[in-house]
Structure 1
Amino acid sequence: MKKKRYLKKLVIGILIIMVLFKLITFLDLSNILGSETKTDPLVLNNEYMDIEDIVSKNAIVIDKTTGQIIMGKNYNKKIHPASMTKVMTAIVGIENVSNLNKRTKITQDIIDYCITNGLSVSGFKPGDNPKIIDLLYGILLESGGEASITLARYVSGTEQEFVNLMNQKARELGMKNTHFSNSTGITDIENYSTVEDIGILFKYALGNRQFKKVVESKEYEVRGINGLFTKRTINNNLFF
């Protein structure tokens, strides 16, 4: 629960103002995840928005069309990305698995690791045999640590080898102040990013049809060998 509360704070405090819809309106994530609605241009001035009104210590406002930084606060300062790390985990998984309906296995050591380190989980049990697509829903809807590590091992054999792919992707995207050391976002001095880089990542990920479909979902059911698991998103009101 602690991890989920931190994720909620991070999403509200940083990502809501990460990308601008069309010109200079705040990000309403439904505008990006779903169909865009026509709105009148909003003039950016203190009548509507002041960067100092943002509670987060780190914030950025970006023109979605041009990529221009309109305003920001400590946006190049290194932060612990926490569960935002899983955005990279998911997109790397999507791009490196040709058949998302292939199954893999949840192992006891992964569950034990998540429990020991207080990671949020998505409800898989040792012995479950979810599809890769199931893992993606577990990662993005429930911030599942066990789903993240299982996906990493499926793709690369070990989590560390998968992390190498994550860092390679970060370089390709121009995330100059980002480095990953794990697939779950567990706090580590070598797992860091900035709100500017997170903005780059999130904008890229939302351009992927499969990623977009997953994060749009309100509910998803996973059928494993131990029964039926229902995954629910964090309330979409988080993004308003």
Structure 2
Amino acid sequence: MKKIVSSLIACLLIFLSIQPIHAYTNINIELYSQYAYLYDRDTSLVYMEKKSNEKIYPASMTKILTVSLALDYITDLQEVVTIKQADFKGVVEEGATVAGLFPGEKVTYEDLLYGALLPSGADACQALARLIFGDVDHMVTAMNEKVIELGLQQTHFMNVTGLHDEKHYTTAHEMALILNHALQNKEFVKVFEARSYKSSKGNHQWISSLQNAKDNKDMDVSLINGGKSGFTDEAGLTYASTMTIDQHRLILVTAKAEDRRKRNHIRDAATVSQYMDQSFHNVVLYKKDEEIDTFWVLKSFQGSYQMKAQQDISLLVEKTINKSDLDIQVNIQKWKEAPIYKGDGLAIISVNYQGEPIYKYIETMPETIQSSTAAIVLHYGIIIGFPGLCIFIIGLKIYQRKKKKV
């Protein structure tokens, strides 16, 4: 049984780290977008799926990975670099959006990052590719290697800008995972959530599509943290955005909306954020440092060990649901042998609602408990010695009975 529980925890640790979990509900909201995917970065619970595993063309959402990958290699954001004519190859011919850079211009890497995301500058993206990887083709190769590293099977890139190519595709689900990866970099978050930016020389002023929608369409985008929009005729309007709803960090990816003038892709994000804010709330299962369960440590003088929540463990659920409505179960191995290492899985916390499983959480070891030689000797001494003592006592009693008969 011990091995079964340990194996189950190990498998779940791998599964939950890469695979979002389907929630108990799929919210049904009327959207302009034909494709949509909404999930919680903190719990991996999925709240909306609309053809989320079908192929889409990402358009300029591509630039999320372009900027994220560039940040993996940039060591000094303030380093000054020079824009070259090569950075404009194919840009004018394809009608790509640009940041307004010009050959010979001196800019910082930071300028290029903001220029790639806020005005969606293809010139800034191709400059990053040349400066960091030598040329666009080498950066595209690195992007596809990152796709493989992330375990994505329905994504492939042909360029760094998102210009249409039949072999340049993803899904709403996998684009959300790419954004989740990018958001692990604090510098990326700063750029992604920026509403405006003035370049280092002061000659460029860029605003985000989110701010543009707020200013020109009087749209309530107050619940949206940041976003990256895209458009091609084949992709339609695409949008990857983040929002925080009652302490939970959500990612929404939508694709194939129509009407650029009305900015319906951003309207969809605003609609979803407002619905989630009005209809869902945070339910805390265990507060940080609250005791969850205890287990005994063998081969160590530790004795019993109190397993406590290392952070608040919570769920974003509909406001009609409270903690008392949830069935919370802890599956833990009550006896563990030292050594136990920091990060080892300790228990599976399962949450059911109305008899249906909706969430699983792995609580891990916050510290390392080493085995003790003296404790091991004592442990095996008891295992070997106790049966021997029993045999000795039984033998002694038999001997005494025989002696009485004589």
TM-score of the superposed pair, with normalisation by structure 1: 0.74
How far is the alpha carbon of 1:216 from its aligned partner? 2.1
Instruction: Tell me whether 1:111 sits opposite 2:122 in the alignment.
Output: no
Residue 145 of structure 1 corresponds to 122
Question: Equivalents in 1 of 2:157, 2:197: separation in Å?
Answer: 28
Correspondence list, 1:156-235, <5 A: 156-224=133-201, 228-235=203-210
Question: Equivalents in 1 of 2:110, 2:48: separation in Å?
Answer: 37
Is the partner of 2:37 in helix, strand or coil?
strand
The 8 Å contact of residues 97 and 122 in structure 2, kept in 1 or not, is answered as yes
How far is the alpha carbon of 1:44 from its aligned partner? 4.8
Instruction: Using CA pairs under 8 Å that are at least 6 residues apart, name the structure with larger relative contact order, 1 or 2.
Output: 1
Q: Residue by residue, what CA displacement relative to the aligned partner does 1:147-172 show, whole Å, maximum 9, x if unpaired?
A: 00000111110101011111111122
Question: Equivalents in 1 of 2:78, 2:142: separation in Å?
Answer: 21
How far is the alpha carbon of 1:99 from its aligned partner? 1.5
Residue type matched to 1:50 in 2?
N
Correspondence list, 1:48-67, <5 A: 49-50=27-28, 53-67=30-44
Is the partner of 1:151 in helix, strand or coil?
helix
- Percent of residue pairs identical: 34
Residue type matched to 2:207 in 1?
R
Residue type matched to 1:230 in 2?
Q
TM-score of the superposed pair, with normalisation by structure 2: 0.45
How far is the alpha carbon of 1:76 from its aligned partner? 1.1
The range that moved more, 181-190 or 110-119, is 110-119
How far is the alpha carbon of 1:111 from its aligned partner? 2.8
How far is the alpha carbon of 1:59 from its aligned partner? 1.4
How far is the alpha carbon of 1:97 from its aligned partner? 1.4
Q: Residue by residue, what CA displacement relative to the aligned partner does 1:174-201 show, whole Å, maximum 9, x if unpaired?
A: 2221111100001011211000001101
How far is the alpha carbon of 1:106 from its aligned partner? 1.6
Question: Equivalents in 1 of 2:103, 2:203: separation in Å?
Answer: 14
Unaligned 5+ runs, structure 1: 1-19, 25-42
Is the partner of 1:231 in helix, strand or coil?
strand
How far is the alpha carbon of 1:223 from its aligned partner? 3.7
Q: Residue by residue, what CA displacement relative to the aligned partner does 1:190-235 show, whole Å, maximum 9, x if unpaired?
A: 21100000110112212210011112222212145xx711122223
Residue 14 of structure 1 corresponds to none
Q: CA RMSD in A?
A: 2.3
Residue 130 of structure 1 corresponds to 107
Question: Equivalents in 2 of 1:234, 1:69: separation in Å?
Answer: 26
Residue type matched to 2:28 in 1?
D
Instruction: Tell me whether 1:88 sits opposite 2:48 in the alignment.
Output: no
Residue 235 of structure 2 corresponds to none
Question: Structure 1 residues 44, 76: closer, same or farther in 2, change over 3 A?
Answer: closer
The 8 Å contact of residues 88 and 126 in structure 2, kept in 1 or not, is answered as no
Residue 74 of structure 2 corresponds to 97
Question: Equivalents in 1 of 2:70, 2:175: separation in Å?
Answer: 18
Of residues 104, 120, 123, the one that matches 2:97 is: 120
How far is the alpha carbon of 1:105 from its aligned partner? 1.8
Residue type matched to 2:115 in 1?
G
Is the partner of 1:62 in helix, strand or coil?
strand
Question: Equivalents in 2 of 1:218, 1:70: separation in Å?
Answer: 27
Unaligned 5+ runs, structure 2: 1-19, 212-220, 222-265, 271-406
Higher helix share: 1
Question: Equivalents in 1 of 2:175, 2:76: separation in Å?
Answer: 27
Q: Which has the larger radius of gyration?
A: 2
Question: Equivalents in 1 of 2:151, 2:45: separation in Å?
Answer: 15
Question: Equivalents in 2 of 1:61, 1:138: separation in Å?
Answer: 27
Question: Structure 1 residues 66, 176: closer, same or farther in 2, change over 3 A?
Answer: farther
Question: Equivalents in 2 of 1:213, 1:221: separation in Å?
Answer: 14
How far is the alpha carbon of 1:112 from its aligned partner? 5.2
